Structures are given as structure tokens and as C-alpha cells.
Amino acid sequence: MCSLLVHCVLGSSKVQGRLKVCTRGFFFEPQDNNLPILRFFFRDMAEMPVAELHDHPEAADCAIFLAFSVSSVVEMKERGVDHPYMQKETSGMSGGSSNGGVVPTKYTFALLHSKIEEFLTNVRPIWELAHKEDVLNKVDEEILLDPVLRPRQTDQFDSSLLVDFRERPLLTKGKLVDRIVPLLKYPGCLMLTNQRLYFQPAQVNNVGDPVLNWAYNTIEYLYKRRHMLKQTGLEICLKNGESFFFSCRSRFDRDEVYDMMVSQPDLKRLQQTDLESMVRKWQRREVSNYDYLLYLNNAAGRTKNDLTQYPVFPWILSDYQSPTVDLADPNVYRDLSKPIGALNEERLEFYRARYEAMPRDMEDEGLPPPFLYGTHYSTPGYVLYYFVRMAPEYMLCLQNGKFDAPDRLFQSIASTWSSCNTNHADLKELVPAFFDDSLPADEWLRNGRNLDLGTTQKSTRVGDVELPAWASSASAFVRINREALESEHVSAHLHEWIDLIFGYKQRGDAAVEANNPVCDCVLLSVFYYLSYEGSVDLEKITDPVEKCSFEAQIQEFGQTPKLLFTGGHPARSELGKAVDIAMLEVTPSPRESDEAIASTNGSTSGAPSTESRSRGDSGAKEGSPYGDAVEDEHALAASRRSMFSFRTRSLGVPKQAQRFVGGITAQIRRRMSVEAHKRWNWALGSKNGVPDAPSWAPSSTYMLHAGEVTSLVLAKDGRALFSTSKDTTFKVSATLDGTLRRNLSCNLALSCCDVSPDEKYVFIGSWDNCIYMYSVDVGRVIDHITAHDDGLSAICVFEDRLLSSSWDGSIKMWHYTSTGIATAPLSTFMECEESVVTLCVSVDGTTGAAATRNGALWTWTSCFRSVLTICAVVAAAGWLNDFRNRVPDRSAHERVDAEAVREPREACRDLRPYVLRRGSHHRLHDRGQ
């Protein structure tokens, strides 16, 4: 707290309030709300603020004061009203009159709880920065301010702030974060205890803000979010409806906090509905259209705490002129199959012509890729456009202390709809408030605060929003709008708009067909490219000026929602239609490398036609446990090129995984019956009870993946093929015609898979250290565990158990049931000195073998109780690549064929069979035999 001393004609007066220091000046907030908040810019202070003695009669106990002179003062929020900021030139004297409106030049403060010497020491470098002539931009300013601000943004949490002395901190140091609120961010640190989450604001002001804390049992939901297109966001939603959004310094920090929180007993109850389940609830009308759209927005990362990704809703009605509206008449509705920019054919032609004229392939020269629309359907400016009457302070903040020009303010529903259909720079959709009958409509449709919003060029004073004639009041307008949203007509067509905003028509060929059907070129982006996830990796940009520029553009244009569906969203009436979920939502292990390297070549000419055909012919395809709504920071992988013709970044992979993956070829497990061999026309001989290898001529080639295939498993009847790829996808395909039956996309490359004996479940290994249990019947992941400290290299399933190996050199045995995988392994084998690249196990699981990168072959008995032999199949020349169990009869000696390859990826050198229980090889098949 501090005191501001000024002189008035009525005598001396003392005003108490708070003095806040910002990077460009002082804010003084009087305790009396009738007085305006004052802002003093350092640039308007010719001399540094000083300490001086004061002879004020009430200053006996505080004789030393802070004093400074300014050439202008900014006044705001007088009488508690949000009005445009008023900048006033000072009078050139040290006092003023209260009734004449003269602004004094000199201001004097008495600091009640701070030492003035320390205060001036902190202010001096900031004041000097404001007077430097070589500070050219915001980046220069931030670099110079860093030594001043960094010591105040500490990760040391004050343990005296704990609510309960019995609480136990779970972190050795706090996690540096920014608390995100509309248009602002507050630095601080997060601390977790065994009972609460704490946010300790950074001491960047002379008066600290209160520490926030939330008991775990008050948290309803916990979500991973993105912020500025970076995977650093974390949002907590409380049972009382409040929510708090934080942005961590890195994805690693965010994941560590998330994983630690969800492991707490009070938060293990958090079970969100998966996306496919919600689709089915919507189809069964257990969920309203409004609630379903809210859910999709949340699943796509939209949050009311970040205006760049505020929840978006569609315009529903198109008739705002008639005296009445008949919701049974389809002509009163907007065409939901087209985006807002394509509703007016004449305006669309303008967009097409401009797009055709844009230069191509000139990104290296600083030009952006071509785009159809130069603006977005949801931006911070559009959100505040609707809420200027309810939250004028945000508009003033965004517009540098001014409301927008009166003619551009939200005046009329009809004129806003007309502008969205005719104005080349206006493509805004709606916000949830247009349909939310729980929010008082008068707060944002009526000028209840009597704000001075100005007068239009037609001499019309801007006041309440002009409603359609068919709405007698603000609440009636929202009610009718909501009824229209829930109408049968909208229920029958809402899926078309979902395809445009959250689905496969966001970009690429499908977007061209939806928005620009006569354009012959391939569209890289429908909207400005920086609004798309994966368009730029801000964490890898080292040039601060370039990074600042990108951040400013993202703030201006907003962000396109995360892709949720890769195929057409089923209509509400299509209960049996497949749901093509776009991305597997997982919780990556905090041990996952924060640095990604290497790339995956994802160019396959045949992929687009294959995907297109499969989408139409497939049954139930893909599912996703939609828990925390986490999004991967990596660009959409190369596999998406089969659906979307936009440019993708290289797929980042962990360092160790990249070193070894080159030596792992596709693993094919042929567990087929004799009938299946006959159907495939494979000739089978027999020698010593062991079938000879089948031989056949390839009949068909299907480009099912866009990247290197890492694993293949053939169904027992030979009708289905299970495959994983470095393009991050797992697919189930028909062997007869290549039809895609199931499709699943993950965050990182997939390395291996195997199928349960009853073929109901597929266990998938990924480079994110996790095993995913996929149900073939329901078409989605039903469980996943973080299994190893590095990427998975192989999986073998037998009976109710599975073996997994990793590049970290470990092998583990797990138990599984129809509901999931046990969280703790049955046994662990850690003796391998090098990365394990492949596994093999007998039918009953009693005997198995593993091969490592250095060419060693390890064998074991059940549960790894003893290691029988170590056989060096290939010496230092290369590593083992793959082997197979060749004797299914449990009474016979188990045997594997071990295939070794030289590094890097040379042709097969030799093939050696081994009797596992004897540890010696029988025969050597040279190349070509």
C-alpha cells in the first residue's frame, strides 16, 4: 500500500491506494472507486523518480517520500466505469484543483510497507530502459528487462503458505508457469502437495498477490492444453464451475505436473467420456446439440481462458428480418454444409481469384503459403466484439484504451449476419452465449452499464444490440436461437458443420471440395497458415524477433481447432456408422525425451486413393479414449498426406529410438490355418513335422501406410492384416482387397504389435514408451500403460500374458484381462547390455528368446527365473534383426530362426536355427539357399 499526496484548492488531501510497478511505468489504483486509476509512463518522466523530504502536516511518521514529475497522465475507470482511457497533459505545476480539472505535474507518494531505497533501486533500471534510444522493439525490451524480472520469477515455493502443516510437497522445486487469462498472463510457479495444487504469483510488483490453492477433491476435470500452438498448457476445472489455465515452460514440465496430479488418490476418479462414446450418446439423443458442441470444443482444446481458442458455435438461422420465425421451415436456416466464407457465391469468387494470384513456394523468401481466407472464423477480436458490453475492459485492453469505431461495434444481429455474408474481411461464427440460456442475455446484449460506445456515421447512438423482430427481448432471442439449434433440421445437418470445423474438411483436398470446388490447385491451407497446429514450432525458433512476430500473428488470427475426425462425421440418425477418430489421446510418460530429432519420409503416391476407398467401404474403424484432451506438439505425421494435401513437418522421434530403428524390419507372424493356406494357394510341404516355408507370387500391392512399416501380424484365417508404421498409425486391413477396417493414429511412431490368441485384442508398442491395448470389437484403445523407459521394440502375446522389450535393454512380462493391462509387470529382466530389438516366445510361454543390438541371443525359461544360454550369433559386425518360433508342438524342442543383418540395413547374411533348450545351432543357411 502507498499514499498519494496532492494539493487541491480546497487544501491538502491524502488519497490511499496501491502503487504498482510495470515494465513501462506506474499504476496508481485509489481505494476510493470514484477516483480514476492513474497511469504514469516512464517515458514521460524526464528525470528519475527520487526520494525527498516532505512537509505535509500528516507526514510526521513518514518524512521521506517518493516523488516524480510527468508530462502526461492516463486516467481510466473513473467512478468504476470502463470508459476509453483519457490521456491528459499536465499543467506544469505541482498542484491542481479538484474542480478545475487541472492535472498536476508532480506526484508524491508515501510508501507504507516498502523501503524507498530498495524501491528506487528496482525502479532505476526500468526507468533507464524507457529512455534508451536503441530499444527498437519488444524483443530488445524483453532482453534488457530479463535481468530485472528473472530474479522475481523464482521456482522456490514458500512452504509457509501451505494450508495444512501436515501437507507434503511432491516437487523439490516449483514449476515456473504463466497463469493465462484473456489477453493477459501472470507469471508464477506451481507446487503440488499430497492434498492441494498451489499457484504462487511471482513477486513482480511491490505488493504481492494472494497465493491460490485448490484441494484435489474440488477439481472436477484436468486437461492438457496447447498455448500459442505449443504443448505446454494445463487447465483445471473446479466443481463450482471455475477454471484456471496455466502455460508451463515446456511440455516436459506440463506432463510431469499432469502425471503427478492424476496419480493422487482424490484425482484417480477423473474418468472422462471418450469421444466415440459421446458421439453415440449424441446420436441416441442422450446429449443435446448444444452440449455436444461444447464437448467437441473442449475436446479440440478450446477454452474460455484463451481468446485465441475460444469455443466456437455456428450461425444457425439466416432470417433476421421477418416479424416471426417458423423453426419448422427449413428456409430459415443457414446452410451448415458450407463454411461462413462460402455462403455467398460472389464473395467466394473473390477469394478464389485472390488465391489463384498468390505466389507459390516462396516461403524461403518470407512469403506465407497460399490461403483462401485472410482471416479466421474465431479470433480474440471477434470474441470481444460480441462481449463488448459485458466485458468492456477487455476491448479497451485490446484496442489500446479505446473502443472500436462505432460503425464496427456489435450493434445489430441482422447487420452482423449481413456483414458475415458480404464483407470480405468478416468470417466470424458465433460463441456459446448465443445459445446459453443460463447466462443472463441482458449482460451482453444490452448496454446495462451505459457505456459510451459512440455514435455511428448515421448519427445513431450505439446502445443495446438491435434484436430481430421475432425476438421480444434478449432472453427470448437466446431461447429461440437455442430452440433452433435443437431443431430436427439442425440435428440432421449439424454433422456437416462439424466436418468443417473439427473434421476432415479443415484443410487439404476435402477443404477444397467444401469451399472451392472449381479450384484445380492443391490447397495448402484454407485459412492463414499460422492458425493451424503444426504450421510452426515456436519452441525451435531461436531468433527472438521471428518468434515474437509469430506469436503476435497467432494472437491476431486465432487458432484452428485440433482435428478430431479423419472421416465424415456420422449423422445423428446413422447409429451404426463408423466414427473416424483422428488422434489417439494419451498421457505421454514424463521420461519421454523433450528433444526430438530425425524425420520420416511420408510420401506415397498411392495413399490418397487407398484412403479414399477405404473410408467409404470400412466398418467401424477407430476409437480414442478421450480423457485429458491432450494434443501432440509434433506436426501431423506423414500418414495424413494420404488425406490432406498440406505440408507437414518432420516427425520427431526420441534419440535412442532413431539410432536403432533402422535395423528393425517388418515382423511378420504367420499363424494361419491349413484352410487359409489353401485359400491363398500356398504350397505346403512337410519335413520332420515342420511345414516348409510357403511360396507364392505377389498378386496385389496396397499402399496402406505413408511411412516405413514396422510390424505385421496376419490373422489366423488369413483374412485380416494388422500393421504398425513409423507414420504413427495402426491399421487393420482386409487381405483380399486392401480395404481398411480399422485405423488408429498415435502421437509418435509405432514400432510393434501382436494379437491375443482369441484375436480380440491387439497390443501396440510405441516410441512414447507405452503399450496400448486395442479392442478389435469396439475399434478403440481400452487401456495403455507406460511400460519402459524408452521406446518399445517388440511385443509377444501368449495366453493371458504378454512380453515387451525396449531399446532401454529391458524385457518385461505383463498380465492382461478383458478390461486392461496390469499396471505392474509380473517380472522384469534387465540383464541385456544392449537394446533389445526383437522377441520370440513359445506357444505356452515357458521358453523365450531375445536378440540385442550387439548380436547376442538371450534365452530364458518362464518368468525369467534363469537365463540358460547366451549365444553370439553375429559378432560386432551387426545386430540381430528378427527370429521366430518354428515348432508349435509343446512336446517338441522349441526352435527359433535368427536372422542377422549388418548395419546399416544390408541384405541378410545368414540364417541360423537354434534349439533353445540346448543352446546350439543345427544348420546354417547361406544367402540364396
**Which CATH class for the 158-271 domain?**
mainly beta
Q: Out of 256-265, 338-347, 627-636, which region has the weakest mean confidence (pLDDT)?
A: 627-636
Ranges of beta strands (E only) in 717-833 are 720-725, 729-734, 740-745, 750-755, 761-766, 770-775, 780-786, 792-798, 801-806, 811-817, 820-821, 827-829
Tell me: the pLDDT tens digits for 656-693?
A: 333 333 333 333 333 444 444 444 444 444 444 444 44
Nearest to 502 by CA among 330, 277, 767, 309: 309
Nearest to 870 by CA among 840, 885, 850: 850
Cβ partners under 8 Å of residue 429, min gap 6: 312, 313, 314, 315, 340, 377, 378, 501
Tell me: the pLDDT tens digits for 16-69?
A: 888 888 888 999 988 888 899 999 999 999 999 998 876 655 554 557 888 899
Whether 872 has a pLDDT exceeding 60, the answer reads no
pTM: 0.61
Tell me: the pLDDT tens digits for 736-749?
A: 777 778 888 887 88
Contact 764, 786 (CB under 8 A): no
Q: Which fold would CATH assign to domain 2-148?
A: PH-domain like (2.30.29)
Residue 450 φ/ψ, nearest 5 degrees: 55, 45
Q: Which grid coordinates belong to 599?
A: 524425420
Query: In terms of C-beta density within 10 A (0-12 exposed, 13-18 middle, 19 or more buried), how is residue 656 classed?
Result: middle
Residue ranges covered by each domain of the chain: 2-148, 158-271, 278-557
- Identical topology for domains 2-148 and 278-557: no
What is the DSSP code (8-state) at residue 698? -
- Average pLDDT in the 636-653 region? 29
pLDDT at 510: 67
The letter for the amino acid at 470 is W
Residue with cell 499396471: 823
Strand partners, 88: 73
Of 267-271, 327-331, 627-631, 661-665, highest mean pLDDT: 327-331
Cβ partners under 8 Å of residue 924, min gap 6: 910, 911, 912
Model confidence at 587, pLDDT cuts 50, 70, 90, reads very low
Residues counted in the chain:
929
C-alpha dist (Å) from residue 92 to 71, 72, 106, 127, 331: 8, 10, 8, 21, 66
Measured distance CA(389)–CA(118) in Å, rounded: 42
Whether 428 has a pLDDT exceeding 70, the answer reads yes
Other CB atoms closer than 10 Å to residue 453's CB: what's the count?
A: 21
Q: Which CATH superfamily is domain 278-557 in?
A: BEACH domain (1.10.1540.10)
pLDDT at 527: 43
pLDDT at 117: 87
Of 770 and 636, the structure prediction assigns the larger pLDDT to: 770
Whether 765 has a pLDDT exceeding 80, the answer reads yes
Whether 602 has a pLDDT exceeding 80, the answer reads no
Helix (H) or strand (E) holding 417: helix 413-422
Nearest to 384 by CA among 310, 456, 460, 476: 310
Measured distance CA(69)–CA(827) in Å, rounded: 75
| Average pLDDT value over all residues in the chain | 75
Other CB atoms closer than 10 Å to residue 676's CB: what's the count?
A: 18
Pairing relationship of beta strands 72-76 and 64-69 according to DSSP bridges: unpaired
Residue 164, CB half-sphere, CA atoms under 13 Å: how many? 12
pLDDT at 204: 64
Contact 698, 681 (CB under 8 A): no
Q: Which grid coordinates belong to 27?
A: 499504476
Contact 197, 214 (CB under 8 A): yes
User: Following CA atoms 792, 793, 797, 800 in sequence, which dihedral angle do they give, to the nearest 10 degrees?
Assistant: -30
- Average pLDDT in the 561-578 region? 89
Cβ partners under 8 Å of residue 736, min gap 6: 719
SS3 276: helix
Contact 548, 139 (CB under 8 A): yes
For helices 488-501 and 289-299, the axis angle rounded to 10 degrees is 10
Residue 701 φ/ψ, nearest 5 degrees: -130, 125
For helices 275-283 and 289-299, the axis angle rounded to 10 degrees is 170
